[in-house]
Structure 1
Amino acid sequence: MSLTQPLSVFKVLVVEDDEILRMCTANVVADAGFMTVEAANADEAIAILESCSDIALVFTDIQMPGSMDGLGLAQTVHDRWPAIKIILVSGRVELSERDRPVNSRYFQKPFAMKQMIEGLQDMIRSAEVQPVQSLDSRQDKFR
C-alpha cells in the first residue's frame, strides 16, 4: 500500500518518563515529518488518547513509573484503540513477538535513529489510519 497522505498529517504520541529523551525523540519524530504529542507516563498517554481521536501511532518506552509501564500501556492501547500502531523501546527489557501486542514493533536501546524513523514510516504506510484533521501545529505538548 502506498502512502497517499503526507506524513505530516499523522500524529505520533511519544511516551517517555525521561524529559530529555522524550524531547529528543519527539524532535526526531517531528523532523521525520510527523506531528507529535508528548506524555511523561502511561496515565498522561491514556488521557491524551481519550481526548484525541487522531493519534496514529504510540511510541513508548517500557520502563516507566506510574500505574502501568509501557508494556501495559501498549496492551491497553491495543485493546481500546486497535487501529493505533505501537512501537515499544527499552534498554533493559528483551521482548519477543509473543510478549507484545499484535501489530506492534520493538526496538532495543540504543537504536539507530534511521532505524526508528524507518519503522515509524513503515508502520504508518501499512496502517489503515485516518490522518488528523488539522495541521495547525507540527508539535503539540501535553502538560
Structure 2
Amino acid sequence: MDSFRQKTILVVEDEALIRFTIADTLEDAGYAVLEAASVLEAVGKLGQYEHIDLLLTDIDMPGGLNGIDLAKMVAECAPRISIIVSSARSQRDLAGLPEVAHRLAKPCTASQLLSTVGNVLKAKERAGKEARRQSA
C-alpha cells in the first residue's frame, strides 16, 4: 500500500547551503529527498520521478521562472503533489500562489520545517482517504 512508502520531497532552492541544510533535516527525519537548484531542474525531476509527494520551493530563482510559477504548474499538472512555498516575503507579495499551496516563512527552524511538512502531508493523506471513502 502506498501509505507505507517513504515520502519523497523535492526541495527547490537556488542557495546551495540552504538547500543542503533543508535536505539534511528532512533526510534525518526519514524522508527521501530530491534536490533542484532551479525551476527547470525541478521540472526535470518531476518528469523523471513518479512518486514525489511534496514540493518545497523557494520563490526567488535564477532564470525566467520562479517558485510561484513552479507551484502553479504542479498544482495544475500534478495535483497529487502537496506544495509548500518558502519565502521571507509578506503574504500580499505572494499573490498568484495556487490556493492549495502552503506557506512556510523564512527563516524557519528545523522543527518549524518538519512540523509544516508533516502537517501538509497528513492533510493530503486525510483528504485522499476521504475521497476514496466517498467514491466507495
TM over 0.5: yes
Q: Which residue of 2 aligns with 1:127?
A: 124
Superposition misfits of 4+ residues, deviation over 2 angstroms: 95-99
Q: Which residue of 1 aligns with 2:49?
A: 52
> Cα RMSD over matched residues?
1.8
TM superposition shift of 1:59: 0.4
The structure, 1 or 2, with the larger RCO (C-alpha pairs under 8 Å, 6+ apart) is: 1
1:57–1:64: structure 2 CA closer, same or farther, 3 Å change rule? same
Q: Which residue of 2 aligns with 1:29?
A: 26
Q: Which residue of 1 aligns with 2:9?
A: 12
Q: Distance in 2 between matches of 1:39 and 1:98?
A: 24
Q: Distance in 1 between matches of 2:104 and 2:121?
A: 16
* Amino acid in structure 2 at the alignment position of 1:73: L
Q: Point out where structure 2 has 5 or more consecutive residues left out of the alignment.
A: 129-136
Larger C-alpha radius of gyration, 1 or 2? 2
Q: Distance in 2 between matches of 1:67 and 1:39?
A: 15
1:10-36: per-residue Cα shift (whole Å, max 9, x none)? 100000001111101100111121100
Q: Point out where structure 1 has 5 or more consecutive residues left out of the alignment.
A: 130-143
Q: Are residue 94 (structure 1) and residue 90 (structure 2) matched? A: yes
- SS, match of residue 58 in structure 1: strand
Bigger shift: 53-62 or 97-106?
Answer: 97-106
Q: Distance in 2 between matches of 1:13 and 1:41?
A: 12
Q: Distance in 1 between matches of 2:58 and 2:67?
A: 6
Q: Distance in 2 between matches of 1:19 and 1:94?
A: 23
Q: Distance in 1 between matches of 2:34 and 2:109?
A: 21
TM superposition shift of 1:67: 2.7
Structure with greater helix percent: 2
Q: Distance in 2 between matches of 1:68 and 1:31?
A: 30
**With structure 1 as the length reference, what TM-score do the two structures score?**
0.79
Q: Does the 8 A contact of 1:87 with 1:104 survive in 2?
A: yes
Q: Which residue of 2 aligns with 1:112?
A: 109
**With structure 2 as the length reference, what TM-score do the two structures score?**
0.83
| Count of residue correspondences | 123
- SS, match of residue 68 in structure 1: coil
Q: Does the 8 A contact of 1:43 with 1:67 survive in 2?
A: no
1:72-118: per-residue Cα shift (whole Å, max 9, x none)? 11111111101100110112x22358642122211221112211101
